[in-house]
Structure 1
Amino acid sequence: MKLKTSILCAATFAVMPALAADPAKINWPKVPVVKVPLFYPGQSTYEWLRSAEHKGASKEVIRGDACTTCHDEEDNEKDLGAKLVKANPLEPMPVRAKNGFVELQVQAAYDAENAYFRFQWKTQAPEPGTEYPYYRFDGKEWKAWGAPRLDAPIQQGKQPAIYEDRLSMMIDDGKVPMFAQQGCWLTCHDGERDSRKVATKDEVAANEAMKAYGKADVRKYLPASRNDPSDWKTGKSLDELAKIKAEGGFADLIQWRANRSNPINMADDGWVLHWRNFDAGKNPFASNMDDKTKQPKYMFDAAKFGSKEVTANQLRRQANYLVKGGNAVPFDPNAGWKEGDMVPRYYLQPGDVTGSAADNKAVGVWKDGTWTVLLTRPLNLANDDDKAFKEGGVYSVGFAVHDDSITTRGHHVSWVRTVGFGAKAKTDIQAVKLK
């Protein structure tokens, strides 16, 4: 079978943006490799860690001790992940054959303008997770089709498992209390999606703070954003949050996405305080649903893509990215749609990405079961929603990988690590200065 491929997307993979140094040409074999173990965490939320269920360690966590104070080499990440990925009190919905451990290889370098990171990890799936759920026409309406493995319809066999692979890096410069000790566990709380005691839509809609935030569900948040850190309902006022943010009390969150950013050589940029927010400006991707007409905004340009739609038998066999300004045209409701026709739920918008949302450039290549991702981020960013890498600086970071059609807490995560850029202090990852 001859597979059709988006002309624009095929070209995009072969072209690098103009950078101060091309990360693909850096002599990476000369840059030290740091092996960072990642493990499956289950529902080990901020609240669980501080509860009596976290036997023998809750008092230490509350006191602010580092996770690694207890979890030393004798209780390594591989063993911990193997326990938590199976059915247990912290995993009520185990994913069949899910792996509990991933080794992430990290390298870092920098020059006068940019920081460069090279990440490598082996995927569990036999193919790269470059698909994202679709909108499918059922003969009358366009409905979401496909979902990540933790969703009930997938576990019940009612929908196919579809989700993009993803790499995340959460960053703090010392201004978020306890991040250096407990990292991204500060952001994982009861009430969040796929967590313990998931908040209902009605609960969120009735909450005054969430109304003020303009949010319809509970996502990552830092303890400082709540009057009671263990209760998502107790959100602080917008004025209070603005003060915390202005003082740097937020975590930066970089996410490389195999479907929604990689085809246009980007990684999105965000920050966590009262919610998981995107940086100012426009993201690499946007929703393809028109809320007024309840129909897609764009369809494929048949002259460039080969057809106006994709179908289920074409998934994972071609580049199904919908790109504004490339292979996308405005949706035509009279184009002869039939049951089973699909279009992507998100479209890429390379020409529209603006503001601090456009900071990060990234290119990922999957080969022989392994992703290699090269990330470029400017030094000395002055945006109020970024943690700026600077020469001489030391930063606390947490890494995560989503693999095999899964999202939310189904990722693999690391304990906190430190990254230095020409710093005198000893760090776990020391970026090499390029000549």
Structure 2
Amino acid sequence: MRKAAFVLGLSAIVAAPVMAADPASIDWSKISATTVPLFYPGQSSYEWLRSDKHPGASLVRDGKACTTCHTGKEKALGDKLVKGGPLEPMPVKGKNGTVDLKFQAAYDAKNAYFRYQWKTQNPYPGSEYQYQRFDGKEWKTYGYPKLDKVVQEGKQPAIYEDRMTIMIDDGKVPMFAQQGCWLTCHEGERDMPKQFTKEEVAANALLTAIKKNDVRKYLPASRTNPSDWKTGKSVEEIAKIKAAGGFVDLIQWRAHRSNPVGMADDGYVLEWRLFDAGKNMFSGNSDAKTKAPKFMWDAKKVGYKSITADQLRKGDHFLMGEQNVVPFDPNAGWKEGDMLPRYVLSRADAKGSAADNNAIANWKDGMWTVVVIRPLGLANDDDKSLKEGGVYNVGFAVHDDNITTRGHHVSFVRT
């Protein structure tokens, strides 16, 4: 089969042209593959990389690539960092330091197809997400990620979805080709050193302007001081950076919030980790005023209106907007321990640029196989347009074993 450059930066891997109106019909045994080592990064931030605590800080400040020093050392780094120390103040007991990600890419006249395979740490798919649980009086969140203190202290169970993420840069983000996702990881963000306070966020002009109540990934170009999240540029300045393509695309496949409806979400990173314009395939299931759920399962269709904790990971527990839900009835005889998912899913409701990506996936014998389908030639102002012959810098991340934020495994950027 003829090979054509499409996604570069994966050693000898390029995307192969295929005839695939149905992505399930692609013969992946004929598509070359590479194994990308992912490792646990702890709290190694943009700021830490440039500090005297990092032996390679001078090289980083001079714009050198992370791989200048660390090629082939991913396993050693991950196994060391995951155990705890200066870069991991809250180690997760039993967590693996590395993940081997098998990656393949193909394309046809309409779409690019990204195929990922990795083994999960647990003997079950991470398709559960947090719930709302009735305590006899109120509905409260049940289940948290493993980095959260309430889980580490045994006060809440670990519940969070698996995720597969790719960041894509087309050469327009300064230093991404050298330092990848570390450009987006900063002190002050969730679960990072010097984490924001509510008061700091409320007083911040940029976050107030974009209506955000916490600090998430951002690119250095969006701040007057890249090492200080508080120094956001004006909305007008950031709009100019975005118009010039100075953002990274962020595609996330989510085992709970996108996979059941055959999709992957579509976002980007610039001044914050943002979703694309339009509407996602998932939305919150909590009423802002009453804090009670908005929807419950349709007992006539599925045989129950809610579940309890002893039913976790014993079936598919998704609220599907077009299939199995009815409006929440506060007088339905709720008992202490009844639980409903925190999110409702709907493929029909997903619209605009946020709904660009489709996906198919399955978990078998301890391994996820995920294929993300991305249209070629997108012209939205919040997308990187993928084209035959295009050259892209990419970074990968896997969230596994009931974890979120920085508890993932990441790759060095491939260019």
TM-score normalized with structure 1 length: 0.90
Partners of 1:117 and 1:24 in 2: how far apart? 12
Task: Using the TM superposition, give the Cα deviation of residue 21 of structure 1 relative to its aligned residue in structure 2, in angstroms.
Answer: 2.1
Structure 1 match to 2:64: 65
Cα root mean square deviation, aligned: 0.9
Task: Using the TM superposition, give the Cα deviation of residue 210 of structure 1 relative to its aligned residue in structure 2, in angstroms.
Answer: 1.3
SS in 1 for 2:199: helix
Please say if residues 123 and 370 of structure 1, whose CA atoms lie closer than 8 Å, have aligned partners that are also in contact.
Answer: yes
Task: Using the TM superposition, give the Cα deviation of residue 20 of structure 1 relative to its aligned residue in structure 2, in angstroms.
Answer: 5.7
Structure 1 residues 180, 120: closer, same or farther in 2, change over 3 A?
A: same
One-letter amino acid of the structure 1 residue matched with residue 262 of structure 2: N
Please say if residues 81 and 101 of structure 1, whose CA atoms lie closer than 8 Å, have aligned partners that are also in contact.
Answer: yes
Please say if residues 287 and 346 of structure 1, whose CA atoms lie closer than 8 Å, have aligned partners that are also in contact.
Answer: yes
Partners of 2:284 and 2:291 in 1: how far apart? 12
Structure 1 match to 2:170: 173
Partners of 1:403 and 1:111 in 2: how far apart? 31
Structure 2 match to 1:261: 258
One-letter amino acid of the structure 1 residue matched with residue 63 of structure 2: G
Structure 2 match to 1:404: 401
Partners of 1:234 and 1:325 in 2: how far apart? 44
Q: How many residues align?
A: 397
SS in 2 for 1:417: coil
- 1:335 correspondence with 2:332: yes
4+ residue runs of structure 1 moved beyond 2 angstroms?
A: none
- 1:277 correspondence with 2:282: no
Partners of 1:39 and 1:22 in 2: how far apart? 33
One-letter amino acid of the structure 2 residue matched with residue 115 of structure 1: A
Partners of 2:146 and 2:84 in 1: how far apart? 15
Structure 2 match to 1:31: 31
Partners of 2:302 and 2:159 in 1: how far apart? 21
Output aligned runs, 1:323-402, within 5 Å. Answer: 323-402=320-399
Partners of 2:91 and 2:82 in 1: how far apart? 6
One-letter amino acid of the structure 1 residue matched with residue 60 of structure 2: V
Which of the numbers 286, 294, 298 marks the counterpart of 2:295? 298
Partners of 2:157 and 2:407 in 1: how far apart? 17
Structure 1 residues 20, 354: closer, same or farther in 2, change over 3 A?
A: farther
Task: Using the TM superposition, give the Cα deviation of residue 416 of structure 1 relative to its aligned residue in structure 2, in angstroms.
Answer: 0.6
Partners of 1:106 and 1:274 in 2: how far apart? 29
Partners of 2:61 and 2:21 in 1: how far apart? 44
Structure 1 match to 2:411: 414
Structure 2 match to 1:117: 114
Partners of 1:411 and 1:85 in 2: how far apart? 10
**Residues 9-59 of structure 1: CA deviation (Å, up to 9, x unaligned):** xxxxxxxxxx9622221110010011100000000000000000102x111
SS in 2 for 1:24: helix
- 1:222 correspondence with 2:257: no
Output aligned runs, 1:78-97, within 5 Å. Answer: 78-97=75-94
Which of the numbers 314, 326, 335 marks the counterpart of 2:311? 314
Structure 1 match to 2:53: 53
Task: Using the TM superposition, give the Cα deviation of residue 363 of structure 1 relative to its aligned residue in structure 2, in angstroms.
Answer: 1.2
SS in 1 for 2:236: helix
Task: Using the TM superposition, give the Cα deviation of residue 333 of structure 1 relative to its aligned residue in structure 2, in angstroms.
Answer: 0.7
Partners of 1:363 and 1:149 in 2: how far apart? 27
Partners of 1:120 and 1:414 in 2: how far apart? 14
SS in 1 for 2:161: coil
- 1:149 correspondence with 2:160: no
SS in 2 for 1:53: coil
Partners of 1:257 and 1:328 in 2: how far apart? 21
Please say if residues 165 and 253 of structure 2, whose CA atoms lie closer than 8 Å, have aligned partners that are also in contact.
Answer: yes
One-letter amino acid of the structure 2 residue matched with residue 62 of structure 1: R
Which of the numbers 185, 189, 207 marks the counterpart of 1:188? 185
Determine what percentage of the aligned residue pairs are the same residue: 69
Structure 2 match to 1:428: none
One-letter amino acid of the structure 2 residue matched with residue 162 of structure 1: I
Please say if residues 75 and 98 of structure 2, whose CA atoms lie closer than 8 Å, have aligned partners that are also in contact.
Answer: yes
SS in 1 for 2:61: helix
Partners of 2:275 and 2:316 in 1: how far apart? 26
SS in 1 for 2:140: strand
Please say if residues 259 and 359 of structure 2, whose CA atoms lie closer than 8 Å, have aligned partners that are also in contact.
Answer: yes
SS in 1 for 2:392: strand
Task: Using the TM superposition, give the Cα deviation of residue 131 of structure 1 relative to its aligned residue in structure 2, in angstroms.
Answer: 0.1
Partners of 1:72 and 1:106 in 2: how far apart? 18
SS in 2 for 1:199: coil
SS in 2 for 1:181: helix
Please say if residues 31 and 109 of structure 1, whose CA atoms lie closer than 8 Å, have aligned partners that are also in contact.
Answer: yes
Please say if residues 20 and 113 of structure 1, whose CA atoms lie closer than 8 Å, have aligned partners that are also in contact.
Answer: no
